[in-house]
Structure 1
Amino acid sequence: MVFKRLLGALGVGGPTIDTVLDPSSVRPGGTLTGQVHLVGGKADFEIEHITLELVARVEAEHEGGESQGVLAFDHFTVGGGFRLAEGEQRSVPFSVIVPWETPVTELRGQSLGVVLGVRTELSVAGAKDKGDLDRLNVTPLPVQEAVLEAFGELGFGFRSADLAYGRIGGSGQRLPFYQEIELAPSAQYAPQFNEIELTFLANPGGLEVVLEADERGGFLSPGHDALMRFTVSHEGAGQQDWPAIVDGWMRQLAEHRASYGSPPGHGSPAPFGPGGLGHEDRHHDGHRSGPGMGTAVAAGAAGLAAGVVGGMVAGEVVDEVGDFFEGDEEDEG
């Protein structure tokens, strides 16, 4: 999905830019390829830089509640240093590596409701313009897909997925936000947990799997959260008994019972304790929930993309108000 846009920074007669992403799927840590198509304006222009910027719609919590914004999380210079003649047509191919922690937007062709984009910026004779915005779809790594399918086989249901601004203390997180996939508990764990929040932190060597369980309270005691972290390798993802592994994680999470200060037993994964995941790093109120328990993966990215971009985190949010993909929708019409 692409659109052309006149360079507003240069006024009428400037070059136009049209970025086309290759249709092949992209995975975290994988290669994103495509071409930037340029058409010269009514004069010659010096193209200084062509930059690609990866952006995401992210939620942030603050004292006033919650807001959404568009956050840039990586950028690449893919061309520049040439003169674009009047009316000239030129294509600049690119191949860039996306971050390992890039969120997953779909699972087997079904949207998870997470919105990512690729924005193309053109720098011409000292003027800059964010000229093109394209939706970026990211499929899971084999080990991520295996874990998600194992939860499904165990009876857990998908509720929603979103991106939260902040960092998970004690982890190897590199991006300024993380993805939360909210799951309804299976019948076995429903008496103990209201919901499970799953976060993947991928890296070249493997995957950190962060599980946060919102525990049900009793008649006289409030519920609270239990958190644990597990590490798996990319190798041999197809040969593991993932339902058994994931069920083992859930059993440990149930036994852990949110004892933040308790040291882990021999051979157990280290839970987040003091100095790890604090309330300033990650919220635990369970306020975000999608469709009802057991709902299939649905509610595509269009629902999340609609609306007004909120002022989120000063200095880090792209200054943009309106629909994330407004230009694409206008072009389609």
Structure 2
Amino acid sequence: MHIDRDGVLGELYPVRHDPVDVRPRQAPEPLFVTHEHHDEDRWLLWCRRAASDDALLDVIAKAYSYNGSLSDDEITGLSAKRHNLQLAPGEEVAVAFSGRLPWECPVTELHGHALGVDLSLTTRLAYESASPVRDLDFLHIAAPPLYAAVLDAFALEGYFVDGSQLIDAYIPDTEARRGTHQIFFLSDRRRPADRFAELELIFHQNMVGAMVYVRRAARATYEWNEKPRARTFPAAHHEVGQYEFGERVRKALAELPIVDA
């Protein structure tokens, strides 16, 4: 399944059509779940026999906690348009669903290249109010134009994206609905003696734009307050295509050793 972004928020556009055989515990006969793309996003299921109280669709990400352990973090839930499903033998039902991605939703790719963040849509059926049927589809979310513009400006200064991590924690002294933030690791392949070899960059995004945090990288540290100090600068969505972020990036790079000292 693929999610394209229109500006900074995304809509769901499923692209896989092959069914997934999901066999629930205690289910007398197999149940099949898949996704299809029509005029609206639909969740398609067919089976020999099924009764379900609800269809639950959640966007789930793998995030690191303060001690470095990896766990599931629910980013958002999507709304199914139909409930209390009762399927007769051989019956096929298409259930529409809808939803919006929150500002804190991580991205999984930049310019078509994977970033290493694990994001998926998990579908569950409350099968006869007992053991759920579960289906998992990996999601691909492209970086919004603002992210790409800022990261491209760092690339022009020699710092290229070298992976990403999702952290299960709020950025201190900021407002956010979800307690996660995504770190982009930037590496200077030239490794000059007068610059840090690797940086971390974080976008704290809202409808206006983003506050960009940049600091010396510390991959093995997950607590924000235990990381090196960050330099920040603002970037607005409307500036993309009209303003070059190179000046702000160069200023941040020049001041970073002073902040980090």
Give % identity.
Answer: 25
Report if the CA contact (8 A) 1:54-1:118 is conserved: yes
Q: Equivalents in 2 of 1:17, 1:87: separation in Å?
A: 14
Q: Equivalents in 2 of 1:227, 1:135: separation in Å?
A: 32
- 173 and 254 in structure 1: CA distance in 2 versus 1, 3 angstrom threshold: farther
1:254 lines up with 2:254 in the alignment: no
Q: Equivalents in 1 of 2:189, 2:30: separation in Å?
A: 57
Q: What corresponds to 2:74 in structure 1?
A: 72
* Residue correspondence of structure 1 range 30-109 to structure 2 within 5 A: 34-41=41-48, 43=49, 45-62=50-67, 66-78=68-80, 79-109=82-112
Alignment deviations for residues 61-110 of structure 1 (CA, whole Å, 9 cap, x no partner): 42xxx322222222123131342222101111222111111111111111
Relative contact order higher in (CA < 8 Å, ≥ 6 apart): 1
Q: Equivalents in 2 of 1:124, 1:11: separation in Å?
A: 8
Q: Which has the higher strand share?
A: 2
TM superposition shift of 1:123: 2.0
1:198 lines up with 2:162 in the alignment: no
**What secondary structure is seen at the aligned counterpart in 2 of 1:97?**
coil
Q: TM-score, normalised by structure 2?
A: 0.79
Q: Equivalents in 2 of 1:71, 1:214: separation in Å?
A: 24
TM superposition shift of 1:147: 0.4
Report if the CA contact (8 A) 1:19-1:120 is conserved: no
What's the RMSD between the two structures over aligned residues? 2.6
Report if the CA contact (8 A) 2:79-2:98 is conserved: no
* Residue correspondence of structure 1 range 235-254 to structure 2 within 5 A: 235-254=238-257
**What secondary structure is seen at the aligned counterpart in 1 of 2:35?**
strand
Report if the CA contact (8 A) 1:150-1:243 is conserved: yes
Q: What corresponds to 2:167 in structure 1?
A: 164
**What secondary structure is seen at the aligned counterpart in 1 of 2:249?**
helix
- 246 and 3 in structure 1: CA distance in 2 versus 1, 3 angstrom threshold: farther
Report if the CA contact (8 A) 2:167-2:182 is conserved: yes
Q: TM-score, normalised by structure 1?
A: 0.63
Report if the CA contact (8 A) 2:203-2:210 is conserved: yes
Q: Residue type matched to 1:8 in 2?
A: P
Q: Equivalents in 2 of 1:194, 1:173: separation in Å?
A: 31
Q: Residue type matched to 1:68 in 2?
A: L
- 89 and 243 in structure 1: CA distance in 2 versus 1, 3 angstrom threshold: same
**What secondary structure is seen at the aligned counterpart in 2 of 1:8?**
coil
Report if the CA contact (8 A) 1:214-1:225 is conserved: yes
**What secondary structure is seen at the aligned counterpart in 2 of 1:210?**
strand
1:154 lines up with 2:157 in the alignment: yes
Q: Equivalents in 1 of 2:92, 2:152: separation in Å?
A: 46
Alignment deviations for residues 101-121 of structure 1 (CA, whole Å, 9 cap, x no partner): 111111111111111100001
**What secondary structure is seen at the aligned counterpart in 2 of 1:127?**
coil
Q: Residue type matched to 2:104 in 1?
A: E
1:8 lines up with 2:24 in the alignment: yes
Report if the CA contact (8 A) 2:79-2:99 is conserved: no
Q: Equivalents in 1 of 2:142, 2:58: separation in Å?
A: 19
- 176 and 130 in structure 1: CA distance in 2 versus 1, 3 angstrom threshold: farther
1:209 lines up with 2:216 in the alignment: no
TM superposition shift of 1:190: 5.0
TM superposition shift of 1:228: 2.4
1:137 lines up with 2:140 in the alignment: yes
Identify unmatched segments of 5+ residues in structure 1: 24-32, 216-223, 259-333
Q: What corresponds to 1:19 in structure 2?
A: 35
Q: Equivalents in 1 of 2:217, 2:30: separation in Å?
A: 54
Identify unmatched segments of 5+ residues in structure 2: 1-15, 219-226
Q: What corresponds to 2:228 in structure 1?
A: 225
Q: Equivalents in 2 of 1:109, 1:205: separation in Å?
A: 25
- 164 and 10 in structure 1: CA distance in 2 versus 1, 3 angstrom threshold: same
Q: Equivalents in 2 of 1:170, 1:185: separation in Å?
A: 30
- 238 and 112 in structure 1: CA distance in 2 versus 1, 3 angstrom threshold: same
Q: Equivalents in 2 of 1:46, 1:254: separation in Å?
A: 62
Q: Equivalents in 1 of 2:182, 2:193: separation in Å?
A: 23
